[in-house]
């Protein structure tokens, strides 16, 4: 155990325990820490995992010629309609707000000479809607920025890092 852990003989008091500190764990911690005391239990280093290795990018239908309905349609078609439609809708509807969060943290998504985002058209997508950062280092940059936000909260809010080796 190390880094920021304050465990007493009586143990830890917490409202929520999150196992893992990849993108899912850190984003959940950020949201939940607004209302709850959150403890993250993770192995290895904070942020280590698949998320920081993600290369291709993150899809969000937020350009003027794109739409959430088109993104949903493409996703359902790519899954041969075996997808859970309710989950697909919910995830894709959140793409805009989530990207705005990362923009507000100055995550360095790649831009062209004119300053517009360089959007890639990956398999199954009918439009260019995949944002990437540092070429193929998208996950690295996104985890770096979400970790920074968690660290700020850790100082003044209630995220406790409990790292188990
Ligand atoms: C090389 C590569 C490239 C990828 N490229 C893309 C891409 O371009 N776009 C895309 O959308 N997706 C991509 N993916 C998939 C994407 O990275 C994953 O879907 C995503 O990161 C999953 O996030 P997560 O938070 O659930 O998992 P992770 O980021 O893997 O986090 C899991 C966390 O749980 C912790 N953990 C695991 N076991 C335990 C345990 N027993 N006890 C405590 N903690 C534990 C880990 O240490 C880690 O902190 C890629 C994956 C890889 C490997």
Contact 14, 39 (CB under 8 A): yes
The structure tokens listed for 96 are 């805009």
Q: Per residue in 18-56, is it b (16+ CB within 10 Å) or e — as a string?
A: bebbbbebbbebbebbeeeebbbbbeeebbebebbebee
List, in sequence order, every beta strand (DSSP E) within 63-148.
130-131
* Average pLDDT of the chain to the nearest whole number: 88
Judge whether residue 2 has pLDDT over 70.
no
Judge whether residue 114 has pLDDT over 90.
yes
**Which atom in ligand 1 lies closest to the alpha carbon of residue 47?**
49
For 61-79, write each residue's pLDDT tens digit. 999 999 999 999 999 999 9
Residue ranges around ligand 1 (CB below 6 Å): 19-25, 41-44, 48-51, 53-58, 138-139
Share of the chain above pLDDT 90, in %: 67
The rounded Å distance from CA 72 to ligand 1 centre is 23
The structure tokens listed for 38 are 């959150």
The domain 1-51+147-165 having CATH identifier 3.50.50.60: the answer here is: yes
Judge whether residue 6 has pLDDT over 80.
no
Question: pLDDT band for position 165 (50/70/90)?
Answer: very low
**Which atom in ligand 1 lies closest to the alpha carbon of residue 57?**
8
CA 60 to chain centre: 13
For 140-155, write each residue's pLDDT tens digit. 999 999 999 988 876 4
Question: Could you tell me the residue ranges of all domains in the chain?
Answer: 1-51+147-165, 56-136
Pick the residue whose CA is nearest to atom 4 on ligand 1. Answer: 54
Angle between helices 23-32 and 138-156 (to 10 degrees): 30
Pick the residue whose CA is nearest to atom 22 on ligand 1. Answer: 51
The rounded Å distance from CA 42 to ligand 1 centre is 12
């Amino acid at each position: 155990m190390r880094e920021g852990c304050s465990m007493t003989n009586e143990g830890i008091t917490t409202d929520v325990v999150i196992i893992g500190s990849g993108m899912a764990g850190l984003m959940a911690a950020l949201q939940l820490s607004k209302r709850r005391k959150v403890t993250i239990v993770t192995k290895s280093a904070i942020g280590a995992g698949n998320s920081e290795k993600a290369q291709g990018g993150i899809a969000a239908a937020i350009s003027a010629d794109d739409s959430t309905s088109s993104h949903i349609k493409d996703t359902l078609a790519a899954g041969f309609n075996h997808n859970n439609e309710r989950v697909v809708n919910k995830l894709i509807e959140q793409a805009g707000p989530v990207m705005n969060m990362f923009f507000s943290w100055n995550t360095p998504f790649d831009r062209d000479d004119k300053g517009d985002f360089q959007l890639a058209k990956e398999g199954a997508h009918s439009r260019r809607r995949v944002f990437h950062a540092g070429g193929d280092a998208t996950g690295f940059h996104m985890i770096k920025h979400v970790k920074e936000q968690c660290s700020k909260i850790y100082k003044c809010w209630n995220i406790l890092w409990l790292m188990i080796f």
